[in-house]
A = this chain, B = another copy of it.
Amino acid sequence: MSQEDALRPGEQRLAIAPDDDAALRFIGHIETPFPERADCPRQGSEEGPECTLVLKSDYAPALLGLEGFDRIEVLYWLHRARRDLLTQNPGQDGVFRGTFSLRSPLRPNPIGTSVVRLIRAEGCRVTVRGLDCLDQTPLLDIKPYRCDYAPLAKGKNIKVK
């Protein structure tokens, strides 16, 4: 937890339980032009700079077919965020909001989700536009964007409008 994450007056925190319900493995990391939190945009834009998802080489086969999608969903681990805030005062204006009504990185399970434009996928490197996270953020998952995706498995498919 960094000093940037110090409590603001009136914010509520939780004496949180151990975080041992399930465990994650990082599948790689993300290269962005944002070395510090102050450099990060508050929300990614498809007109933003190129960023690169760098997978560990073992995972290369799992990218097969990804280049068929224009947009992909990226999940990552907000490794510098404190995890015990219940309410936050992001505007520092006395207006408090619950953590679950914010997209702040400070949350019990600091998982970031973004929908980004896929520029290219080569080997273990996937170039995208639309991220707002720190350089070297650990990567958790890549999925096709739900609105562009038709499930392939047999079963109760429900057509998405």
Report the minimum CB–CB distance from A6 to chain B (whole Å): 14
Who on chain B is nearest to A126 by CB? B100
**Contact at B100–A22, with CB atoms within 8 Å?**
no
Q: A9 to chain B: which residues have CB within 8 Å? A: none
Compute how far the CA of A23 lies from the CA of B114 in the bound complex, rounded to whole angstroms.
21
Q: A64 to chain B: which residues have CB within 8 Å? A: 87, 96-98, 101
**Contact at A98–B143, with CB atoms within 8 Å?**
no
Q: A104 to chain B: which residues have CB within 8 Å? A: 153
Compute how far the CA of A59 lies from the CA of B153 in the bound complex, rounded to whole angstroms.
36
Q: Does A1 sit at the interface, judged by CB under 8 A?
A: no
Report the minimum CB–CB distance from A11 to chain B (whole Å): 10
**Contact at A138–B98, with CB atoms within 8 Å?**
no
Compute how far the CA of A58 lies from the CA of B84 in the bound complex, rounded to whole angstroms.
11
**Contact at A22–B138, with CB atoms within 8 Å?**
yes
Q: How many residues of A contact B (CB 8 A)?
A: 78
Q: A157 to chain B: which residues have CB within 8 Å? A: 41-43
Q: Which one, B44, B65, B98, B108, contacts A27 given CB within 8 A?
A: B108
Q: A30 to chain B: which residues have CB within 8 Å? A: none
Compute how far the CA of A149 lies from the CA of B102 in the bound complex, rounded to whole angstroms.
8
Q: A58 to chain B: which residues have CB within 8 Å? A: 14
Q: Does A134 sit at the interface, judged by CB under 8 A?
A: no
Chosen A-B contacts, 9 in total, with CB atoms closer than 8 Å, are A21-B25, A21-B26, A22-B23, A22-B26, A64-B101, A92-B154, A102-B143, A107-B143, A109-B141
Q: Considering the complex of A and B, which 4 residue pairs feature the smallest CB-CB distances, nearest first?
A: A64-B98, A65-B101, A42-B151, A100-B142
